[in-house]
Structure 1
């Protein structure tokens, strides 16, 4: 079993920033990426945590992300804001557009953000949760590269195509969920490959279309949707809403960055922000309390709310630091030092 190492949040942030900047990301992109991966690691979302720094550096080396692109924000209409990431990371583009999106939602009741031409690798929950912390209801989705077979098929066509939602709660952390429409996030299979751990046989099929417990064969084959045809339909919805509807690509029209320079790892993201006060007026506080009855009903049965485990992990990490595998820490440290020359 791999040993672990515990770092303070500040130490982990410093490691991430130094690694990214030394490999060529400008300070703005490095900071935005660091905020995302450290938040995920803090909340024990390992599949989107600091191990993703390795992929960011590899994508940059292969020319799949601009390390210094300046996002261009435009106001397409009264309720629509667009941001062109310029083939930079989606995280900085969202941060540039977020204030405009919030202002439009508060002014008009609902606003849409179309984020285009972006390299996207991160979890969506930090984005929607940050909007819910401003009192907004938020929904986000993005397609990814063709890693997933549609229900009844065996060949990659759809992305993992996550959906995230966040609801503001008076005096409490927002109710938030973020899940792929595939059986699991691709990062979960990658973590199993890295650790030499078998995967359940219903996560993916190998290149020959057979069920597999080998994560390497799964990554070469096709992942499966959750819930069969239901997950498949939701995945197609994400492709349409965060692809053609915002003037961007479908997942199978993109490709991860590769050494041949033929990759096209840029696509879109759609975020919807709703201001409950504009809908409900003076009745907003009562209706938000009304919603609490649902959450209380879940907890009363001994069930867990989505994001509850994350928030518990967040409290532990802030108090005791963040624990990662010693092998991952050594790999990140070597990667940082490798750029010094």
Structure 2
């Protein structure tokens, strides 16, 4: 039975997984493809990343409906060296392609100690932390990235030339307490700027520029302009490195060659991803790593908090706490998202 709380519905994990799979099958995906997509999006919801969870049924579905994303993509892979795979996503749904890339990198890392997969022909593949979590659960440290539609101007430039590309890291921790860092390249998400506009408040001038590339505190001008990269020119350089690995080296689109899914929803984006995994068992025993990871976290937690009710945390702790709570109480889902999933599931034939 589902419960309601503050305009959201709490749904048991197994029930939401089944509904999600039916919904993506209703969009025309084969059952095994739908399972991969839901694996990533459901983890996002469990982590509390609802904007990148099963709510993506809306944007993914709109593009599938106009053949901008292939319903039954024939994803292929080629082993170009003992530790390196190339994966062609054939314009499939991003989380499906991402899971194929992750599995290829894990296969290479199991055999060689370190493995990499460079992926082309993909689409928005969700947040990175679910991939890092899956890898950590199987004993792999990870560096994972993807490129994205252009929303950031080059440092000193006045138009969008690079994407807000996500980058993530993961290291296995004891008893599932994995280190999970998942970040995009902008100071803040555009959603925060939209919220400031709705509230009629100004924004810090470090968040975005106006359409002419100048710093602004006006949220309207910022929404018409470009996001600022984290760390100024250093963040700009980091964003370029993500695109070089995810886009250029993967033989995917890069920078302005990436199609906008908003402006051209019926055209393939040809996004690229990269997965670099390390089999930590090659470095020492599980007990050795667990002891060091506990000590690592303890050193950080022991720092006196500036605000007593805001103790120091290690990246991944919030997401893992959210997951534990929602697995026990049910996953919070907006009524609109539930309705979209149910509507799509009507066509699954299940």
Q: TM-score, normalised by structure 2?
A: 0.84
Match of 1:310 among 290, 314, 319: 319
- After superposition, give the CA deviation of every residue in 1:78-109 in whole Å (9 maximum; x if it has no partner): 11012111111232234334444223213222
Q: Does 1:300 align with 2:302?
A: yes
Shift in Å at residue 196 of structure 1? Answer: 5.3
Alignment of 1:261-276 (within 5 A): 263-276=267-280
Q: Which residue of 2 aligns with 1:59?
A: 63
What is the distance in 2 between the residues matched to 1:328 and 1:191? 21
Alignment of 1:136-215 (within 5 A): 136-185=140-189, 188=191, 192=195, 201-202=203-204, 203-207=207-211, 209=213, 210-214=216-220
- Identify which range, 36-45 or 26-35, moves more after superposition: 26-35
Query: Is residue 62–residue 259 contact of structure 1 (8 Å, CA) maintained in 2?
Result: no
- After superposition, give the CA deviation of every residue in 1:240-283 in whole Å (9 maximum; x if it has no partner): 111222222213211123576774412211111112333x356x
Query: Is residue 68–residue 266 contact of structure 2 (8 Å, CA) maintained in 1?
Result: no
Counterpart of 2:249 in 1: which secondary structure? Answer: helix
What is the distance in 1 between the residues matched to 2:298 and 2:176? 13
What is the distance in 2 between the residues matched to 1:172 and 1:339? 35
Counterpart of 2:163 in 1: which secondary structure? Answer: coil
Q: Which residue of 2 aligns with 1:31?
A: 35
Shift in Å at residue 144 of structure 1? Answer: 0.5
Flag structure 2 segments of 5+ consecutive residues without an equivalent: 1-5, 304-310
CA distance 1:71–1:174, change in 2 (3 Å): same
Query: Is residue 64–residue 119 contact of structure 1 (8 Å, CA) maintained in 2?
Result: no
Root-mean-square deviation (Å): 3.0
CA distance 1:211–1:153, change in 2 (3 Å): farther
Q: Which residue of 2 aligns with 1:290?
A: 292
Query: Is residue 3–residue 327 contact of structure 1 (8 Å, CA) maintained in 2?
Result: no
CA distance 1:110–1:260, change in 2 (3 Å): closer
- Identify which range, 146-155 or 268-277, moves more after superposition: 146-155
What is the distance in 1 between the residues matched to 2:166 and 2:160? 16
What is the distance in 2 between the residues matched to 1:231 and 1:112? 24
CA distance 1:84–1:332, change in 2 (3 Å): same
Shift in Å at residue 191 of structure 1? Answer: 8.4
Name the count of aligned residue pairs.
334
Shift in Å at residue 171 of structure 1? Answer: 2.7
Shift in Å at residue 299 of structure 1? Answer: 1.2
- Identify which range, 170-179 or 256-265, moves more after superposition: 256-265
Q: Which residue of 1 aligns with 2:97?
A: 93
Query: Is residue 29–residue 67 contact of structure 1 (8 Å, CA) maintained in 2?
Result: no
Shift in Å at residue 306 of structure 1? Answer: 0.8
- After superposition, give the CA deviation of every residue in 1:52-78 in whole Å (9 maximum; x if it has no partner): 111101121232211101211221111
What is the distance in 1 between the residues matched to 2:212 and 2:38? 38
What is the distance in 2 between the residues matched to 1:287 and 1:10? 32
Flag structure 1 segments of 5+ consecutive residues without an equivalent: none
Q: Does 1:120 align with 2:129?
A: no
Query: Is residue 22–residue 336 contact of structure 1 (8 Å, CA) maintained in 2?
Result: yes
- After superposition, give the CA deviation of every residue in 1:108-143 in whole Å (9 maximum; x if it has no partner): 221111111111241111112211211111110111
CA distance 1:261–1:226, change in 2 (3 Å): closer
Query: Is residue 57–residue 340 contact of structure 2 (8 Å, CA) maintained in 1?
Result: no
Q: Does 1:324 align with 2:322?
A: no
